[in-house]
Structure 1
């Protein structure tokens, strides 16, 4: 069940930051989710959210967290689906940018909850024709199917939803694209490697997303090693297949997407802000070696008078701090628009068409 326990982390000194464009749910998903949630009182869903959060804090195993009522599933969908959609969308967009010739026709999402990842993938790749969601909760499956029938994507509407519990391996059909978001951390550490191996079997592209915490990054880093050792090539975010240059314990590789909150979303989360920042770590790996980003922007670039400074993960020099000044004209204009998580320098039209 793709959960991840959303953690909202605020950057309080934003006046010098080059911020990413705020994301919103697509209209069809927003309408479907709103219709599903309005069947219940917001206060009741907020209480259900608090109960689910308590179970996770108390260390209840995910397989034992029972979504045993429609209101529990609605609360779960309202609480997590928007942020999961936004994070997965960002990871998949970065992947598609670097692999423009990857046009998947089939997609399997493992531990898909109420389906945020298949909605996200269908927005990135209109080529998708066959979608399969594997999920352990019958109630989550029912909610996911209900929402999917209201999608503008025919692939999402016709998607197959199958019940299954992840053990040492994942019983899944072959697919061009396999995703798993916010699930690795719910599995015992003893089975995580074998699960990643099974995800990569019969898949052209594998994308894994975890919370943007040191622990989430650690799981992504371990999964990255497994994928490389089994013959896949990293597509994103890394500009190389070598060891991560970030020193463990001092920092961690993660990214952020800002998401608009609806009034109903704020009520469920008992929040007052009109947005939230979802932090996530991810890796995308493919059996086809696509050209990589020359550099990846880590953290928010800082903008001061006449210059933009950014920290980069590079192919040849590890972590590098670079400054782009106004004297560099065209490059400076690009730098003013660059965001945390983007490749640098931005891809040219010719590169995007490869």
Structure 2
């Protein structure tokens, strides 16, 4: 994620929260955190009103922006020229901020059932260039066609049958790609694996993070996830009662396209371990396996490249 996008969102959130008492916001954050930790489908919308919506935006939008930006960075090389994006259940529009950063000319539509979330999303983008529409939408209603359809941090709020209905709607609307992102927890990874199976069963091909179409080789108690650094604002630290100026948002995701050749490159599954004269990489490989690769200084150019790669990057498996 670019520092500019992070600062623009931070400024917009601070402006939205100006003059709002911190007590009710902090109480709402505590309630929302408790609700998300409980997990499971919600019988009613988790965001019950304007205070919940603002609290959610203040404590979650920076992390969601960072995670979605990382997801797009890890897959956008396979998705040049995206012109239209629809974000299903996009709330206040964090994924839309990431999409705007990645494809500046794209027309973006955020669909959600919570009117207050859509209203805050419009307010946060009031001074931003480009076109982002926030539209009231309920499950089962038509989804406008788009090059890319994103499903961002939504599946955890739905029952298993409703998850499949939402993914079917995303597949029907998407012309070039579907992207699903969930928290980087074991349960979040399981939801992503289920979404991956729906996408593959529909005849689509996974392009990220997996370099293959086989079963996930990462086995419990481990799980496939990635990390994005989030710089905390003063308000963010206050509401989350955090002391550090940053946090690391863990996320799991899958991006699929209707057709296209495989990447041919492995995916780095953990922070590269750098020691004197060598770099150790944990890789998911195009042959459907996951294993360790050690790159030594004797390998010259490969070693120099290994010193610069990050968790989530691709790696030539040749």
Measured against the shorter chain, the TM-score band is over 0.9
Superposition pairs of residues 326-341 of structure 1, within 5 angstroms: 326-341=297-312
Distance in 1 between residues matched to 2:127 and 2:242, nearest whole Å: 28
Residue deviations 1:311-330 (CA, integer Å, cap 9, x gap): 10001261121111111222
**In the alignment, does 2:179 pair up with 1:202?**
no
For 2:279, the equivalent position in structure 1 comes to: 308
Higher relative contact order (CA 8 A, sep 6+): 1
SS at match of 1:300: coil
Superposition pairs of residues 278-317 of structure 1, within 5 angstroms: 278-316=249-287
**Contact conserved, 2:268 with 2:314, CA < 8 A, in 1?**
yes
For 1:349, the equivalent position in structure 2 comes to: none
For 1:135, the equivalent position in structure 2 comes to: 112
Q: 2:71 pairs with 91, 95, 107, which one?
A: 91
Q: Bigger shift: 25-34 or 206-215?
A: 25-34
Q: 1:224 pairs with 196, 211, 231, which one?
A: 196
Distance in 2 between residues matched to 1:206 and 1:60, nearest whole Å: 23
Residue deviations 1:289-309 (CA, integer Å, cap 9, x gap): 154151000111111111110
Superposition pairs of residues 167-178 of structure 1, within 5 angstroms: 169=140, 171-178=142-149
RMSD: 2.1
Distance in 1 between residues matched to 2:60 and 2:162, nearest whole Å: 25
SS at match of 2:273: strand
Distance in 2 between residues matched to 1:59 and 1:295, nearest whole Å: 32
The two structures have a TM-score, normalised by structure 1, of 0.83
For 1:162, the equivalent position in structure 2 comes to: 135
Superposition pairs of residues 135-284 of structure 1, within 5 angstroms: 135-152=112-129, 154-156=130-132, 159=133, 161-166=134-139, 169=140, 171-203=142-174, 204-247=176-219, 249-284=220-255
Instruction: Note closer, same or farther for the CA distance 1:215–1:170 as it changes in structure 2 (3 Å cut).
Output: farther
SS at match of 1:238: coil
Instruction: Note closer, same or farther for the CA distance 1:297–1:76 as it changes in structure 2 (3 Å cut).
Output: same
Aligned residues: 316
Instruction: Note closer, same or farther for the CA distance 1:293–1:30 as it changes in structure 2 (3 Å cut).
Output: farther
Distance in 2 between residues matched to 1:33 and 1:77, nearest whole Å: 8
**Contact conserved, 1:24 with 1:260, CA < 8 A, in 2?**
no
Instruction: Kindly state the Cα deviation for residue 258 of structure 1 after the two structures are TM-superposed.
Output: 1.1
SS at match of 2:92: coil
**In the alignment, does 2:60 pair up with 1:80?**
yes
Instruction: Kindly state the Cα deviation for residue 288 of structure 1 after the two structures are TM-superposed.
Output: 3.4
**Contact conserved, 1:170 with 1:198, CA < 8 A, in 2?**
no
SS at match of 1:331: helix
For 1:104, the equivalent position in structure 2 comes to: 82
**Contact conserved, 1:260 with 1:275, CA < 8 A, in 2?**
yes
The two structures have a TM-score, normalised by structure 2, of 0.92
Instruction: Note closer, same or farther for the CA distance 1:246–1:287 as it changes in structure 2 (3 Å cut).
Output: same
Gaps in structure 2 of 5+ consecutive residues: none
Instruction: Note closer, same or farther for the CA distance 1:315–1:183 as it changes in structure 2 (3 Å cut).
Output: same
**Contact conserved, 1:293 with 1:343, CA < 8 A, in 2?**
no
